[in-house]
Structure 1
Amino acid sequence: MLDWIQHLMQSMGYIGIALLMCLENVFPPIPSELIMPLAGFTASRGDLTFVGVVIAGTVGSVLGALPLYYIGKVVGEERLVKWADKYGAWLTVSGDEIRKADDWFDRHGHKMVLFVRLVPGVRSLISIPAGISGMPLPKFLLYTSIGTALWSTLLASLGLLLGEHYERVEQYLGPATYLILGGLLLYIVVSVIRRRRRQK
């Protein structure tokens, strides 16, 4: 993986960074925690500029968020509600609950599009509920651009500071990703158990 990322970045420069960050949103096994620190390290050697690296990472990440946004938009609230009413009983999810969740996203979730971009492991997934809720595309692009610019700047800066040891960024953030995903999974399991107990 690392050799492929290095080769693509060396051969394609900024376009390679943008392409990698675009793919990272769609294929999570390609980690931004490795791409952007390597790009920052490359900038520290003078092969690329730091600003160019951040812009390329941001543009690629925003482009990669669009397919997930449109998947959510195609599915839409009504289709999801119908699916939940028909098949959601085993997950104890009803159409009414999906409507309530969607209403909450309409009121508060737009800010989450920005903040979740800074959370390893789930940062790309927020595009789906944004699409489902019908979040206006200009607002989605604005919040996504701000969040991904901050994330790209942070990771590239760490790569700049760590130099040849840029791989440590992924080593440190990797466990954090698993903790976050594990916490979300635990929350879902506990929520399902509680709901089933209330139903009984």
Structure 2
Amino acid sequence: MERLGGPGAGLVIALENLFPPLPSEIILPLAGFTASQGSFSVAGAIFWTTMGSVVGALALYTLGAVFGRDRFRAVWGTLPLVNMDDLDRTEAWFDRHGKKAIFFGRMIPIFRSLISIPAGIERMPLLLFALLTTAGSLIWNTIFVLAGYQLGENWHLVENYAGVFQKIVIAAVLLFAVWFVVTRVRSRRGSGTETR
């Protein structure tokens, strides 16, 4: 970041969108700390990291759009323990709540990146997607960049608090996955059908 400045911070955040294991909860406070050292301004850090978020999200949106709804439905049909009714319900939910999902999804670990793919598959209007992504990313990035800026040398403390939030999200996803599998297996056994 010191060598490439704000654009370097944006590049790293764009890569974080494409490779979620790269944690923005570390990158953003580090960008704030680097700004506090005078390498670039805090406004520049927020601008460039938000642009990086949008670029990464647009790449995943494009991936979803290129893959397409028909191919996705064909792949879905081969998965065990799920059926087309599940997908139909998910698509109906996205039709109703897609705007909120894109906006708030930018502030939820793991989903930050993944939410862009169904938006592309469902062909959400590109301008609307970009605006919602920019707004959600701007809020998330500003919070973490400012935290790193204010904490200075202690910027890494942000990770501890963000890590707790991320663990809660992961635990919730795992609990939902276990609940889904158990209920689906039970319902198939109860109806006398074999699981695939």
Aligned counterpart in structure 1 of residue 3 of structure 2, from 7, 11, 17? 11
Q: Which moved more, 1:41-50 or 1:183-192?
A: 41-50
The runs of 5 or more residues in structure 1 that have no matched partner are: 1-8
Aligned counterpart in structure 1 of residue 23 of structure 2, from 19, 25, 31? 31
> Structure 1 residue runs of 4+, over 4 Å off?
none
Q: Distance in 2 between matches of 1:101 and 1:184?
A: 16
* 8 Å CA contact retained: 1:110, 1:130: no
* 8 Å CA contact retained: 1:82, 1:95: no
Q: Over aligned residues, Cα RMSD in angstroms?
A: 1.4
Equivalent residue for 1:194?
A: 183
Equivalent residue for 2:143?
A: 154
Number of aligned residue pairs:
189
The residue identity in structure 2 corresponding to 1:116 is G
TM-score (norm 2): 0.90
* 8 Å CA contact retained: 1:54, 1:156: yes
Equivalent residue for 1:136?
A: 125
Measured at CA, do residues 80 and 121 of structure 1 come closer, stay the same or move farther in structure 2, by a change above 3 Å? closer
Q: Percent identity?
A: 43
Q: Is 1:56 paired with 2:48?
A: yes
TM-score (norm 1): 0.88
Structure (1/2) with the larger helix percentage: 1
